[in-house]
Structure 1
Amino acid sequence: MSAIPSATGGIARLACARLADSGKDTAALLSKAGLTLNDFRDPAVRLAVTTQIKILELAAKELKDDILGFRLARGFDLRQIGLVYYVMASCENVADALRAAERYSRIMNEGVRLRFDMEGHTSTIALEYVGVDRRGERQQIEFWIVTLVRICRQVTEGRLVPSRLQVRHLRAGMPPEFRTFFGRDVEFGADGDVISFPVPVALLPLVGRDGYLHDLLRRYADEALIRKAPHGATVRSRVEKTLTTLLPHGRGVAKEVARQMGLSTRTLSRKLGEEKTSFVEILDQLRAALAKRYLEEEQLPVSEVAWLLGYRELSSLTHAFKRWTGMTPRQFRSKGKATRYCAVT
């Protein structure tokens, strides 16, 4: 993790889009946060989490909207979150979707950690700030809470009402919009930022699971694997196909692959041994091939590539990629850009 926690900056960009729509001077506001308009427009540029918080607070003041984070989260298309939405929407149930979001938050937002737990009769989604002062911050945390509730409702096609909602910051009163949206009051000034649901809610199956992610990753995998020596209809090829859709969910382990193939872990290991390979070898080689393919997509941040490959930390991808190629992912991407530029010119 870097010394200064960073994030993709998506929430800040939504706030600035709202400013622009209102005819406000976005460049002037960004300069107060130490940013230029050109840098801010580049989706590949990550923002310090403290900078994002400052932009949101400045935008709320400029727009005279004390619940800007809430309104932004209510109004944007959830698909704008990116591939994480499709991973969540292709999970089996709410709990699996939230576990995917938990792993995503570890890589994509260094300053905010999502933690999902099921204990007793209650399932909880807790948000924790890391290396960032939580005191007084309201807009970003309210954006997160609303977004998470919206996702749970959208993937189940039901108006789920939390059994309890707690946030650390204070408000002078309960905004009526909060009560209307959440279906209950929010407890301000609590010891933590927590959304609670009864456990049965977490076990709800997802309705109309979105196949976009499966189709996209299948295409990426086909393109990546065709560059390798073809294996034909082998146990190895079945493992590779299964792993492709399990990795983004953080479930690319031998036990789960074997289960989905209708085998025991021991039988899978034996069959792969007959083909002179192993699960660990296949996983490593598949990740290497997919990493190179994903890095060709310039709109995919390197951190999101790490997440798609099933890693919990960006550093894990960096170390593995150096072992595979002798370069970091960013160096590999830059080299690819230069090669393509020379080919064109």
Structure 2
Amino acid sequence: MAAELQRAGCAADQILGQAGVDRQKIAADGARLPFSKHAAVFELAAEAMQDPCLGLNFGRSRDTRDAGLIGYVGLASPSLVDALKNLARYRRVFSDAAEMDVSDLLTDGSMRWWFHGSGVSGARQCVEFSAANLLRAVRGLVGEPITPLQVSFVHPRRDGRADFEAFFGCKVVFGAAENVIVLRKADLARPIRSADDRLLALLLRYCEEVLSRHSAPPPALVERVERMIADRLSKGEARLATVAAACGMSTRSLTRRLAEHGTSFKDLVENLRRELALRYLEETTLSLTEIAFLLGYSEVSSFNHAFRRWTGKTPSTVRSRVRA
């Protein structure tokens, strides 16, 4: 990305510095970057290059080998479904923050992914990059113009949707409950042109060694609770008792644990609602009624009251200002 910024005539070192990244340190062998900084670089780069679809454009222009060890694992895997399972299994090789759920891959062709440590909307460009880069790799591995059945992103987006649908070849939904790509079962069974069983065995042994050196701790409780709240808001189920039960705790235990981290369940819900509300108003064409529903409010008046408490303005005022 630093090289891309330079080609575009942008001050790469300055932008990296804004994200707290030392260019010399990341150039060292084995260097690893906290995902929050990685995401910040992408967001700052998109702004500097005036490209709101930077993640998409950057992702579809890469080479599978750019991903290093995990890329070569994909190239050596026997079939597409094997490559995706290996990616999920060894995701820690390339990122301490990446999560990938392929448990439904063989039943309905779906895979889900997300990143820890960036908040709900702070990694939009990275999430879009990962989806575009993955599909580009999938197409290259099997040598076919594979088209997903469905692509969904959690974050909202106002502009550029046509670019996404042109690349993915299907309807792309923003503001969804999960980041999801759904592939056809026939495509998942396709063989990989460069499959090499003996090389794969060597690579997987090396992946295991890397994992042993970079075993990441489980996600922080606050991040886990934030994700559970986000998943339950639109269903009206973002309640302390519900989330505590999902965490395997009593409400008292969860309240105490959150307090140890300097926050509360109520604060997490309020902060998440405020962040999502601003994103939805600025980056989507959703009606106020739809936004209120997605945030878990039964009435628009309740949403208006909360939004005025957060910002001192009404939702209509903020939307009018954005569209002016």
Q: Normalised by the shorter chain, which TM-score bucket? A: 0.5 to 0.7
User: Does the CA-based 8 Å contact 2:75-2:195 persist in structure 1?
Assistant: yes
Structure 1 runs of 4+ with >6 Å offset: none
- Corresponding residue for 1:81? 67
Distance 1:311 1:37, change over 3 A: closer
Cα distance in 1 for partners of 2:160, 2:17 equals: 33
Distance 1:71 1:119, change over 3 A: closer
Q: What are the residue-to-residue correspondences of 1:121-132 with 2, within 5 Å?
A: 121-132=107-118
1:314 aligns with 2:246: no
User: Does the CA-based 8 Å contact 2:154-2:175 persist in structure 1?
Assistant: yes
User: Does the CA-based 8 Å contact 2:78-2:195 persist in structure 1?
Assistant: no
- Corresponding residue for 1:23? 9
Question: How much does 1:89 deviate?
Answer: 1.6
What amino acid does structure 1 have at the position aligned with 2:194? R
SS at match of 1:128: strand
Cα distance in 2 for partners of 1:190, 1:107 equals: 28
- Corresponding residue for 2:128? 142
Cα distance in 1 for partners of 2:105, 2:11 equals: 48
- Corresponding residue for 1:231? none
How many residue pairs align between the two structures?
216
| 1:180-229 alpha-carbon deviations (Å, 9 max, x no partner) | 111112100000001001222212222x2255x95xx5xxxxxxxxxxxx
User: Does the CA-based 8 Å contact 1:107-1:312 persist in structure 2?
Assistant: no
Question: How much does 1:30 deviate?
Answer: 1.6
1:209 aligns with 2:207: no
User: Does the CA-based 8 Å contact 2:74-2:84 persist in structure 1?
Assistant: yes
Question: How much does 1:43 deviate?
Answer: 4.5
Question: How much does 1:315 deviate?
Answer: 4.1
Distance 1:50 1:41, change over 3 A: same
User: Does the CA-based 8 Å contact 1:168-1:190 persist in structure 2?
Assistant: yes
User: Does the CA-based 8 Å contact 2:114-2:179 persist in structure 1?
Assistant: yes
Cα distance in 2 for partners of 1:171, 1:201 equals: 28
Higher Cα radius of gyration: 1
SS at match of 1:187: strand
Aligned counterpart in structure 1 of residue 201 of structure 2, from 234, 246, 250:
246
Cα distance in 2 for partners of 1:123, 1:87 equals: 21
- Corresponding residue for 1:274? none
TM-score normalised by structure 1 residue count: 0.57
Question: How much does 1:117 deviate?
Answer: 2.9
- Corresponding residue for 2:261? none
* Structure 1: tracts of 5 or more residues without a match: 1-14, 218-244, 250-286, 288-304, 317-345
Question: How much does 1:32 deviate?
Answer: 1.1
Cα distance in 1 for partners of 2:212, 2:22 equals: 32
Q: What are the residue-to-residue correspondences of 1:1-345 with 2, within 5 Å?
A: 15-118=1-104, 121-206=107-192, 208-211=193-196, 214=198, 245-246=200-201, 248-249=203-204, 305=206, 307-309=207-209, 314-315=214-215
CA-based RMSD of the aligned residues comes to: 2.4
- Corresponding residue for 2:296? none
SS at match of 1:184: coil
User: Does the CA-based 8 Å contact 1:174-1:185 persist in structure 2?
Assistant: no
SS at match of 2:102: strand
